[in-house]
Chains A and B, each alone.
Chain A
């Protein structure tokens, strides 16, 4: 596709459930980033994939968070045992060139 695609666009889940968020980067983009943005806050870096290199997971807030990426394609961000503080918009971006963001997944944990 022409842009970064994220799904689902909205997700409401019960506390304690696991969720999986998906990001389809722009074709050919080797770098992929996940960020989290809480309401009224800035973007918080979570994880960075660059080609086949080991990902930089330094931003993941806890071991409940994990992410995978196969080659230079789709990435999934998994949050286990969701908590209310996980409620946020999860944004994915890919590059090189201008870093283009997807429209995000709005996660609400109730």
Chain B
């Protein structure tokens, strides 16, 4: 099993739709979780951290389910500008702070 797994998609949704992505991780001791966004031929940029209690930033909601070892990202009222690849990032505990990236989920928002 890969350390961090994501459905590559693409998820093809109309503007205004709500879309959700999941990401599973294999290391139960993982301590920190993030979602990054990567536009085509650009570097990844931090979208949001994921907290145990769940957190929201505008149209974006991130949640963590430690029991099932997955995190999720929900995007409400999708905009054309949300089209990108969304990368799940997991940082293990135990001294190594090396972020492991998922391969990303591609989102295409169409008019």
Contact = CB atoms under 8 A, between A and B. Distances in A.
Q: Do A and B bind each other?
A: yes
Interface of A: 31, 33, 35, 41-43, 45, 48, 50, 56, 59, 91, 98-104
B43 interface: yes
A50 to B, nearest CB: 8
A33 B98 contact: yes
A42 B98 contact: no
Contacts, number: 36
User: Main SS of chain B's interface residues?
Assistant: loop
22 contacts: A33-B98, A33-B99, A35-B101, A42-B87, A42-B104, A43-B87, A45-B98, A48-B97, A48-B98, A50-B97, A56-B98, A59-B98, A91-B43, A91-B44, A98-B46, A99-B99, A101-B43, A101-B44, A101-B45, A103-B42, A103-B43, A104-B43
In the A-B complex, the 5 residue pairs with the smallest Cβ-Cβ separation, listed nearest first, are: A42-B103, A43-B101, A101-B43, A98-B46, A103-B43
Interface of B: 42-46, 87, 96-104
